[in-house]
Structure 1
Amino acid sequence: MKTLLRGLLTAFLFTVFAVPATSAFAEDKVVYHINDAEHQALAGLRNIRNQLDTVPESKIVVVAHSQGVDFLMESYKDAATVGPLISALHARGVKFEVCEITLKQRNLKKDQFVLDADFTPSGVVELTRLQQKGYAYIKP
């Protein structure tokens, strides 16, 4: 009887305190919030590159709205600097989301943006949704 109780207690403790191997390290999920391209874009892109160099399997989404969408435009003043970074990060799985409300407010068209850009109805709603899904929030 003691052996049975000891075995049941051991099984119970193992079940309660064991951490499955797949969740020992939670998947890194990060959303970068850019609303000022001039002051945030290049630093943010470099931060993302550094994160992927350290944790290559990270899931990263960049959400841009307001003046932050500018760095994703083909006519951006620093396109020669940020363009290659955007393309390289996109190739590594980074998603770039542009706020469609910003497009309407600033009278911008989707064809003014780099091919690596995707669009979301609302940048703020997308930020909220991703955080609710466990994405860490970073504002460079």
Structure 2
Amino acid sequence: MKSLLRGALAALMLVSFALAAAPAFARDKVVYHINDAEHQALAGLRNVRNQLDTVPDTDIVVVAHAQGVDFLMESYKDAATVGPLVSALHARGVKFEVCEITLKQRNLKKEQFVLDADFTPSGVVELTRLQQKGYAYIKP
């Protein structure tokens, strides 16, 4: 009986130590997919802002490809509206990834993009990679 009690106590202690060492919750991770700037960019940026306002320590990556890269270009038609929002979100830790395949296909240069933009070899591959790393997928 004593050995059974000792075993149960030892197991209880191990579980207690494991629970104490585990974080209370995992940090939220989200990837936003933008492939049509005209119809998705502003709504998507507002969603990102709302998410950060609610859960400030969320890791967020915005992946843009195809026509979705336009909102990150300095010459974007609505730059006066989205530019300050992109800058503010970037300052809060949001990463903006532009697909280099899109640049090649559309004959665009990295110099045409806002300073807050980073570049990834393939937007679709980046979306896949992030989801495999546990990022929730959102398509505004």
TM-score (norm 2): 0.92
The equivalent of 2:61 in structure 1 is 61
The answer to whether structure 1 residue 102 and structure 2 residue 102 are counterparts is: yes
Shift >4 Å, 4+ stretches: none
- Most deviating of 65-74 and 14-23: 14-23
What is the correspondence of 1:1-140 to structure 2 with a 5 Å cutoff? 1-2=1-2, 4-13=3-12, 15-16=14-15, 19-20=19-20, 22-140=22-140
User: Runs of 5+ in structure 1 lacking a partner?
Assistant: none
Give the secondary structure class of the aligned counterpart of 2:108. Answer: coil
Which amino acid in 2 is paired with 1:39?
H
Equivalent pairs: percent with the same residue? 84
User: Runs of 5+ in structure 2 lacking a partner?
Assistant: none
**Matches of 1:5 and 1:45, distance apart in 2:** 58
TM-score (norm 1): 0.92
Write out per-residue CA displacement over residues 60-97 of structure 1, whole angstroms, 9 at most, x where no aligned residue.
Answer: 00000000000000010110000000000000000000
**Alignment size in residue pairs:** 139
CA RMSD of aligned residues (A): 1.6
Q: Give 1:22 deviation, angstroms.
A: 4.4
Which amino acid in 1 is paired with 2:81?
T
Change (3 A) 1:105 1:28: same
